[in-house]
Each structure stands twice: as structure tokens, then as C-alpha cells.
Amino acid sequence: MSGEVGIVRGARDTLPVGFALLLIGLAWGYLAHAVGLPWWIAVLMSLVVYAGPAQFLAAALITIGAGIPAIVATTFVANLRYSLFAATLVPLLRDAPPARLVPLAHVVADGSFAVTLRHVAAHPDGRRLDLYLLGSSIVGFATFPPATLAGALLGSSLPPLLAYGFGFASPAIFIGFLVPLIRDRVAAAVAVLSGAATVLGNTYLPAGTGPVLAIVCASVVGGTIRWRREPRSS
């Protein structure tokens, strides 16, 4: 895969996610307006934080009057899953120029991660995945921040009916990524365990910690089951 092909391919494969990000960005801009954030702060967050779920969480915390340290700490914990994503991508990025990884780390997000892994599953011997990830992120930054601007400026003139529907864009796209991955019983068990633990964690644990703990626990259980089944010479 030559450089340009990799970028174009990553961008093209991300277009459906871009569609979802448009709706999520609109919903985020709408929410930011509702909790009293200036429109340009909403857009700036989408550019420099670039983490939809954490931004929604921050808005929820603002409405209950949480202070900045609490919101920042919650953001850190909630986004620790990006560390898990980064670790998952590491074996695939060995041929990337090291200097490029430092800025590229910023684009590791739920959508780009999902698209990249889907690409790897279909092309296991693909090269220069950093270019693919870069192309994917171009679509992410071309959709999420501008849609945030539109949502924040539209604000209360965005019909609540549409805002309700756009709220389903995130579950919908990740249903699209999740369902094809449930190929065996271990995967199904990991999904059920992670989903149930997240719901429980969101109910009983401090904000943001539930999903991260659930992802780690479910992955350790699933990975260990597969490890015990591995044929080993001993």
C-alpha cells in the first residue's frame, strides 16, 4: 500500500463513521449550548479533546455543578480506554516513522480505532497502518468539529425530535462494528460481560470508571480463556 493509497483508503473506509460523527457532533453542540458553554469552546473541545463520550460526560458533570478538577479527572479515567486502544494498535504500527506517532496519538479515538481494526481483519498483512489511521482521522476532524459548530449555533432551534434521534448515532455505529465481531462463544461472553459490567459500573462507581474497568475485566477473562485453549508444548 503506497502512502497516498493508504491515506485515501483510510479516509474512504471512515466515511460511514463520518456520517455518524456528523450526527454526534450536532448532538454535542446542541448539548454544549444547553449547558451554557460558548459555541467556540464546544468546537475547541471537539478539536483538542476529540473524545465524544468524555465531552458528553463533562457536560453532564457541568450541569450538576462539578468543579474543573473533578471533570478533568473524570475525563482522564474515562479516556483510559484510549491507552488500551493504543496498546492494541502497537503491533500494527511497527513500520511507522517514530516521529509521526507523536502527533498521530491524538487521533486515536473510538471510531478510528474501530475502522482501523476492521481494515486489519480484512488485510492482515497490510503495511503502513499509520497512513491509514491518518486518512481515517481526516474524516473525523472534517466532520465532528464542524458538526459541533452547527449544533452549537443551531442550539435550541434544532428540533428535540432530531436531537433524540441523533443521540442514537453512537450506539448505532458501534452496533455495526460489534455484531460482526461476535464470531464465537468467547466473543459473545466478552460482549455480555463488558456490557453488563459497564451498566453496573455506571450505576455504582464514580463517573467514567465503569466502562474502563468493564473493558479490562472482560478482555482479561476472554483473553485468558483463549490462552488456556492454546496448544502449548510442555
Partner 1 sequence: METGTALVLTAGMAGVTYCTRLPLFLLAIWQVRLPLLLDLVLGEIPVAAFAAIVVPGVLAPHGHVDLHPSNLYLYAGLASAAAVVVSRRLVVTIAVGVGLAILLRQLFG
Q: Give me the residue label for grid cell 473524570.
A: 74
Give whichever of 3 and 159 is closer to partner 1, judged by the CB atom: 159
CA 168, 174, 177, 179: dihedral to nearest 10 degrees?
Answer: -80
Q: Decide if 186 contacts 222 (C-beta within 8 A).
A: yes
Question: For 29, what's the count of Cα atoms within 13 Å in the CB-facing half-sphere?
Answer: 28
Q: How many angstroms from the chain centroid is the CA of residue 130?
A: 17
Q: How many angstroms from the chain centroid is the CA of residue 5?
A: 24
Least distance in Å: CB of 199 to partner 1? 5
Least distance in Å: CB of 21 to partner 1? 10
Give whichever of 5 and 76 is closer to partner 1, judged by the CB atom: 76
Q: Give me the residue label for grid cell 465481531.
A: 181
Q: Decide if 173 contacts 16 (C-beta within 8 A).
A: yes
Least distance in Å: CB of 60 to partner 1? 8
Determine whether 219 is exposed, middle or buried from the number of CB atoms within 10 Å of its CB (0-12, 13-18, 19+). Answer: middle
Question: For 123, what's the count of Cα atoms within 13 Å in the CB-facing half-sphere?
Answer: 13
Give whichever of 7 and 114 is closer to partner 1, judged by the CB atom: 114
Least distance in Å: CB of 5 to partner 1? 21
Q: What DSSP designation does 35 have?
A: T
Least distance in Å: CB of 153 to partner 1? 17
Cell numbers given for 193: 460481560
Give whichever of 3 and 165 is closer to partner 1, judged by the CB atom: 165
Least distance in Å: CB of 52 to partner 1? 10
